[in-house]
Amino acid sequence: MRSRFEPDRQLTARMLVTMFLLGLLYVAFVAALIVLLKSVVLVVVIAAGLLAAQYWYSDRIALYAMHGRLVTREEAPQLHGVIDRLCAAADMPKPRVAVSRMDLPNAFATGRNADHAVVCVTTGLQRRLEPAELEGVLAHELSHVAHRDVAVITIASFLGVIAGLIVRFAFYSQLFGGRSRDQNTAAVLALVMGVSALVYAISFLLIRALSRYRELAADRAGAMLTARPSALASALTKVTGDIARIPTQDLRTTQAFNAFFFTPALGPGTTVARLFSTHPSLERRLEALAEISAELGETS
């Protein structure tokens, strides 16, 4: 699929490098599990099954986790209208449209490709933003679909998901296995836990490095499509400020989806090291949008 969204060769290169490194890591991870668990069939079947589920059902999983549902044009005419105009301007297929009944002001795109993409917007975001600001956010999300980085981040996150699940399984197995397990089995479980934890840590850092750049790329592509970078900057400032006022307990269940969100769901007083952040800082994003505004000669 080719669209009128501004291409980003640096993003494409970073996605290829990230997927190559994660692919190597994944092969090494599966090989290590086969050696430790001594069962080729078990490891391959489980790994392949989870990868297939993550790839084919990522959109449904994300919508379910965020309490979102697909909406028709009659149910959300304004939302459909904005996406229709942006897709026509970008010359790209229209994704499915979903709404999440959450007060958290945010939006995300998911799906394995442009033909199976979903753009989901929370009611909290729609309530807070002006039409031009909402258009800027939706252009940002559509650019993720056009750049294909939604599919890449979904597949890339798989390795971290499976490694994290294995760490938890091994931990609870060790914790509740009691004395019924011999020392050799316990040692194997400990090694599995250690390998999985290392894989999770490496994939965690690789995905976040890619995620930070893809947000800047989406900001630029969305702002160039609408020719209104100031509207996107206004939406970013407003949403970030409002998220900071939402109770921390209301954000905990959504923070696992930060890499997919328009802006991260971070509670008040949260300090996240730059290395571990899924998004560039607000200041960095506003600075980049200001440069685009000057480039376009925007006056409003």
- Is 80 assigned a ligand-binding role in the annotation? no
State how far the Cα of 281 lies from the Cα of 272, in Å rounded to an integer: 10
- Is 6 assigned a ligand-binding role in the annotation? no
Q: How far is CA 54 from the centre of its chain?
A: 13
Q: Contact, 150 vs 144, CB < 8 A?
A: yes
- The answer to whether 295 is a known catalytic residue is no
Q: Contact, 146 vs 221, CB < 8 A?
A: yes
| DSSP secondary structure letter of residue 91 | T
- Is 215 assigned a ligand-binding role in the annotation? yes
Helix axes 9-37, 149-176, angle to 10 degrees: 30
3-state helix, strand, coil in the chain (%, to 5): 70, 5, 25
| DSSP secondary structure letter of residue 258 | G
Could you say which of 74, 130, 133, 141 is catalytic?
Answer: 141
Which helix (H) or strand (E) segment holds residue 146: the answer is helix 131-147
Binding residues for Zn(2+): 140, 144, 215
Q: Which residues are tagged catalytic? A: 141
Binding residues: 140, 144, 215
